[in-house]
């Protein structure tokens, strides 16, 4: 990918470690696809869940075959209304899965966690990215773990906490507020010793957002490029897509996801976080060619 305002720098670790990108000889404009793998009993979409480490490895390998560039593993659901789980429980879920995948593949692994202890152990077992929905605010020790581990970090915007974030969220101008928040969190990460080249940002679609906020953020993605960091968008099968179609259940939201992912890529997304990798890969490859020249 290229960066706005004349910024030129090395690609984040997420990019440089991707054997899928390197083997395919892709250019720097490739949109990456992050496959979601939840080792939880309560994530909102059952199709992303698995409970055995061997099953996690098999699913990850299928995602690689379908075009995934990175696998995002989570052991704690952050769906609306969810409650935190102890780090010991989270590690019992994710660490065997990471080890099983790493024994069979070099695919980059992202650990979806807010906790320093979980991230430290995940990085020690082969993860290279920390995907933190709290943008390094939940655990004050997490920034140091990322910096010392040489990992990349995804900083996401969220209003409130997962348990309460959908209780009357409110914004005066959501895009401006999200840009301001992410600007501050990028600066905080850099101050903690994380190089800018290892920082990605996520506007947090569905995390403390109303329907109109989600739509405004999708339309306003080009404004996030002023941050000079790759943009991660995760909207796969989320509730607002069902609401746009009369209240479709999560199992019926694939077509809406494809349409919204295409809009996200056209508007500047660099990484799509998806449940359905094959469809996400094909969507990304076509939609990237439809971007306005101003976003290339």
CA 207 to chain CA mean position, Å = 12
Is 8 an active-site residue?
no
Is 238 an active-site residue?
yes
73 three-state secondary structure: strand
Half-sphere exposure of 79 (CA within 13 A, CB side): 16
Per annotation, catalytic residue among 238, 239, 281, 288: 238
Q: Sheet of 32-38: strands edge to edge?
A: 199-202, 152-156, 129-132, 109-112, 70-74, 32-38, 271-274, 232-233
The pair phi, psi for residue 233, each rounded to 5°, is -125, 125
What is the DSSP track for 163-186? TTTTSS---SSHHHHHHHHHHHHH
Tokens representing 132 are 């933190």
- DSSP tag of 10: P
Please name the residue that has the structure tokens 């055995």: 52
Per annotation, catalytic residue among 30, 253, 273, 281: 273
- DSSP tag of 205: T
What residue spans of the chain are helical by DSSP H? 13-16, 19-24, 53-66, 87-104, 116-124, 142-149, 174-191, 211-219, 221-224, 239-243, 254-266, 277-288
Sign of CA dihedral 186, 191, 192, 194: positive
Q: At what angle do helices 142-149 and 116-124 cross, to 10 degrees?
A: 20
Catalytic residues, by residue number, are 238, 273
């Amino acid at each position: 990918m290229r960066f706005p305002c004349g910024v030129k720098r090395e690609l984040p670790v997420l990019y440089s470690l991707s054997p899928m990108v390197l083997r395919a000889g892709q250019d720097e404009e490739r949109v990456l696809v992050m496959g979601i793998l939840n080792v939880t009993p309560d994530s909102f979409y059952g199709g992303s869940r698995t409970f055995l480490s061997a099953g996690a490895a098999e699913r990850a390998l299928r995602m690689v075959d379908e075009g995934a560039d990175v696998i995002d593993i989570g052991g704690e659901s952050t769906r609306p209304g969810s409650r935190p789980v102890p780090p010991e429980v989270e590690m019992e879920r994710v660490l065997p899965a990471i080890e099983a995948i790493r024994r069979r593949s070099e695919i980059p692994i992202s650990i979806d966690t807010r906790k320093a202890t979980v991230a430290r152990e995940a990085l020690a077992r082969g993860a290279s990215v920390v995907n933190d929905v709290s943008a390094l605010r939940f655990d004050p020790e997490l920034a140091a773990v990322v910096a010392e581990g040489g990992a990349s970090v995804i900083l996401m915007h969220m209003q409130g906490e997962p348990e309460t974030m959908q209780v009357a969220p409110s914004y005066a101008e959501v895009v401006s507020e999200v840009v301001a928040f992410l600007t501050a969190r990028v600066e905080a990460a850099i101050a903690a010793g994380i190089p800018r080249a290892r920082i990605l940002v996520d506007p947090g679609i569905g995390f403390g957002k109303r329907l109109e906020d989600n739509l405004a953020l999708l339309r306003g993605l080009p404004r996030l490029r002023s941050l000079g960091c790759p943009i991660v968008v995760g909207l796969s099968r989320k509730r607002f897509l069902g609401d746009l179609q009369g209240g479709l259940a999560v199992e019926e939201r694939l077509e809406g996801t494809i349409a919204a992912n295409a809009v996200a890529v056209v508007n500047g997304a660099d990484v799509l976080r998806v449940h359905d990798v094959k469809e996400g890969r094909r969507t990304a490859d076509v939609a990237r060619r439809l971007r306005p020249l101003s976003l290339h």
